[in-house]
Amino acid sequence: MTLVRRSDTLTLINLTDQALRVRAVEAASTYDTETLVQVTQAYMTTGSRKGARTSAKTLAAYSLAVRDFVPWAQKNGVQLLRPGRRDGGRYVAQLQTRPSQGRGKSGTLSAATIAQYVAGARALYRALRWAGATEAQPFE
């Protein structure tokens, strides 16, 4: 897993509205996961209710979720900027049937883990709306 440097996030925060929109649209169109993580973190630290008080744990959890959702979307033909009305539900269904991983784990992902992944994917879409890249809300 690649760590997002704070300087990369600060660069996005300091872009003009138009430049931020272009960067977000390009990243979503090419499924550039790391740039989408940066956009999400920039939103979380400047555009969300908690802003700069957003915990490092929340940023890490949402980054993990974005790193899971974006490749899933690409593999399943989801256009990030224009998702289908059922695509959010398809992702949730996939999470609900995904096997748990790790030592001593069996069965499927827990409800708490699924909720965390969905929260991160929702944050990605809030970030894309904040950046002016889309109005889509596939998890609402």
Domain boundaries, the chain: 6-130
pLDDT tens column, 28-38: 999 999 999 99
Q: CA–CA separation, 55 vs 91, rounded Å?
A: 26
Can you say whether residue 8 is alpha, beta or left, with left for phi > 0 and alpha for psi between -120 and 50 degrees? alpha
Q: Report CA torsion sign: 88, 91, 96, 97.
A: positive
- Per-residue pLDDT for 96 more than 70? yes
- Per-residue pLDDT for 80 more than 60? yes
Query: Residue 1 has what pLDDT?
Result: 46
pLDDT tens column, 25-62: 999 999 999 999 999 999 998 877 777 788 899 999 99
CB-facing half-sphere around the CA of 117: CA atoms within 13 A: 20
How crowded is residue 56: how many other Cβ atoms within 10 Å of its Cβ?
7
Query: Residue 61 has what pLDDT?
Result: 96
Q: What average pLDDT does the chain have?
A: 90
How crowded is residue 24: how many other Cβ atoms within 10 Å of its Cβ?
30
What letter would DSSP give residue 49?
S
